Amino acid sequence: MATNRKSYFHYKEGELFSEEVALGQVAEEVGTPLYLYSYNSLIEGYREVSHAFRKLSPLICYSLKANGNLTLCRILATEGAGADIVSGGELYKALQAGFPPQKIVFAGPGKNEEEIEYALRENIFIFNVESEGELKLIENLSQRLNHPARISLRINPDVDAKTHRYITTGKKENKFGLDFDEAEKLYSQIKKSPLLEPVGIHFHLGSQITSLQPYLGALEKILDFLEPLKEKGLNLKYINMGGGFGISYEEGKLPLNIKDLAEKIYSLIKKTGAKLILEPGRFLVGPAGVLITQVLYKKNRGKKRFIIVDAGMNDLIRPSLYGAYHQIKKLKEPHEAYPPEVVDIVGPVCESGDFFARERKLPPITEGEYLTIMDTGAYCFSMSFTYNARPRPAEVLVKKNHWWIIRERETYEDLVEEESVPEELFFSFKDPSLSFKSRSLREKKALLAPIPFTKMQGSGNDFIVIDNRSHLIKNRPEFARRVCPRKTGIGADGVLLLEKSRVADFKMRIFNPDGSEPGMCGNGARCIARFAHLKKMVGEKCSFETLSGKIFSQVKKDGVCIRMKDPSPPHLNLEINLGDGSYTGHFLDTGVPHFVLFVPQVEKIDLPEMGSRIRYHRKFQPGGTNVDFAEIKDETVRMRTYERGVEAETLSCGTGAVATAIAANLVYTLSSPVKIKTLGGDLKVYFHKSGPHKFTEVFLEGEAEVVYEGKWEGEVS
């Protein structure tokens, strides 16, 4: 009996639907080409595998290489799946999607040092090791980090899976895995190592396998190999038989019968006492996805008929690469009265290999209508690229009668965001008089394109925000000194630069008007989170690096809420002498240092004079401190801030608001959330008090708005 998995793509009232959503409606609103996935199809695929193998209670590790979209991965992680990864990038995505490290297995024949160290630090479940050199590198890194590693050796059992030669991985001529003699030697080495733990054995035969025999043949060889290992005292806890479960791309061709496979391997696995690991990818997500494309033109050349669509081989390369077959359907249900036509469905890419179907019988197709390429959930978007400078398509998820864009369509700007143009290429190296710095402003303008910026404000704290992922700004401090002055530059309390990060969605760099770089800025953090969301770089929730640690944010309709780092233990009732008398305040670090003084009437403080003297007081050297004056009235705090780096009063300060709220709780028992009123607007500070002077889960909420957008055409160092 074949799989009973139903299709979640069907015609209703003449329109093709996914679940309860008409695909034509999505195509009109989002544009084409676009990938669309069915939530319930994905869920049913996972549950079908889980149910078929339920007697073995396997760990099912979804293969991210099939489709690494974070939303799809999060759905599977929520269902209880683990992750099968093959790179450091996939490890990062798996963790971002919510797969727990103790359910992540790391395969692949070419893991590099950086990837292995990353995986060790994250304490992943198992490394599937494929060579002696890789094993030595893992052991060396384990020793250096003093961190144990759980090892499973990948065996190449020399079994022909009878699939396409590009996607078979279990034959001796393939690059993957170890032969049995190599594996036996390495298991002995692992057993002797103090930091390596031999926990499993792994094989993976390839992809799109629809027959049981390759799995049974390989498993028989693996079980025979385990006997001598047991005699040597090696009882492996896990047998990982990989994935590769085939699906039905073509009508009449059956998928792998996983229920039969599960029944036939049950007794074999059970008698070993080992736990089963599976690594399905295509089987889960392949039937859940379609690629929707619009017909651009029809073209006849003699008897040959071409249908030219707006999707290309860069969007879906499987037909060109493997000669893979995908069913193609019209979004409008075809009428049986019209005879089919024999056509080639081709794309706009300048390659003769750019096709989706050749000599295919299809119902009559007209220019402007939409077509759907079926079963494109796996190895389709994940293998897409930008050849011919074609931005990659959007991705959409459907659940019942709702749908969401889960990846925005790439833009032309996205095509060049990773690139940078070395300035030195466009002036002479030989003649100092022609160096870039010696050129006139007009000459520099001619050489360099204007830099787009967004002026933003958060509760009156204003910033110049720039996407600097392409390193447009190299000398950041000098740039800040040039653009922040209000009479000779753009004017701002600071420059926020959004840059690349390996551990978060992006990195925030902030520079004060004097060129100094603070560790954190609460109002700036809210602004850059809003900026990244508006520019479609992140969703409503994101994380980003700062010099003081990782920040988490959520963009809301009327503001932005960020989770701050836990503040340092406060130094309460710190007395300082300014010459004309002593002043008592409270010192704490909320990403940057703050000295908080509670006063009867905050408006009457000579803030420029007092703030400057406290900012440079010897007790706060060498870095100095920000200074916050606060007045409490009716459970609300009014606050003014002298900000170092700005060297003046700012209309608002986010980290100062957090410092003041914490101090107000300790001194005046104000409870969370503390309302802070600044000259620039209102803020709320939330926190959890977990000890007498210990605060966690600290959140800052307030407005973050775009003031205007512009382009800087001045000099850039």
Tell me which of 350, 380, 521, 527 is the catalytic residue. 350
**Beta carbons of 414 and 391 less than 8 angstroms apart:** yes
570 upstream amide cis, omega within 30 of 0: no
The C-alpha atoms of residue 383 and residue 114 are separated, in whole angstroms, by 23
Any bridge partners for residue 409, and if so which?
A: none
- And the tokens for 489? 């530059």
SS3 call for 130: coil
The C-alpha atoms of residue 541 and residue 539 are separated, in whole angstroms, by 5
Which residues are CB-contacts of 194 (< 8 A; sequence separation ≥ 6)? none
First-last CA distance in the chain = 69
Any bridge partners for residue 402, and if so which?
A: 399
Q: What angle do CA 65, 60, 157 make, to 5 degrees?
A: 75
The C-alpha atoms of residue 418 and residue 470 are separated, in whole angstroms, by 5
- And the tokens for 641? 């801030």
Q: What angle do CA 108, 110, 112 make, to 5 degrees?
A: 115
Helix 258-270 to helix 213-231 angle, to the nearest 10 degrees? Answer: 10
Any bridge partners for residue 85, and if so which?
A: 106
Rounded alpha-carbon distances, angstroms, from residue 215 to 159, 173, 212: 9, 18, 6
Rounded alpha-carbon distances, angstroms, from residue 627 to 34, 346, 492, 637, 655: 52, 66, 19, 15, 11
- Residue 250: left if φ>0, alpha if ψ -120 to 50, beta else—which one? beta
Give the H or E element holding residue 259. Answer: helix 258-270
Which residues are CB-contacts of 148 (< 8 A; sequence separation ≥ 6)? 142, 195, 196, 197
Tell how strand 149-154 and strand 126-129 pair up: parallel
The C-alpha atoms of residue 393 and residue 33 are separated, in whole angstroms, by 6
Any bridge partners for residue 39, and if so which?
A: none
Give the H or E element holding residue 447. Answer: helix 441-447
Indicate the DSSP class of residue 697.
E
Alpha carbon of residue 611 to chain centroid: 42
Q: Report the residue count for the chain.
A: 717
The C-alpha atoms of residue 447 and residue 169 are separated, in whole angstroms, by 51
**Beta carbons of 662 and 570 less than 8 angstroms apart:** yes
DSSP string, 533-594: HHTTSS-SEEEEEETTEEEEEEEETTEEEEEPPPPPPPEEEEEEE-SS-EEEEEEEESSSEE
- Residue 634: left if φ>0, alpha if ψ -120 to 50, beta else—which one? left
DSSP string, 217-250: HHHHHHHHHHHHHHHTT---SEEE----B----S
350 is annotated as an active-site residue: yes
The C-alpha atoms of residue 172 and residue 180 are separated, in whole angstroms, by 11
The C-alpha atoms of residue 346 and residue 304 are separated, in whole angstroms, by 12
Nearest to 189 by CA among 237, 156, 151: 151
Helix 180-192 to helix 132-145 angle, to the nearest 10 degrees? Answer: 20
Enzyme catalytic residues: 350
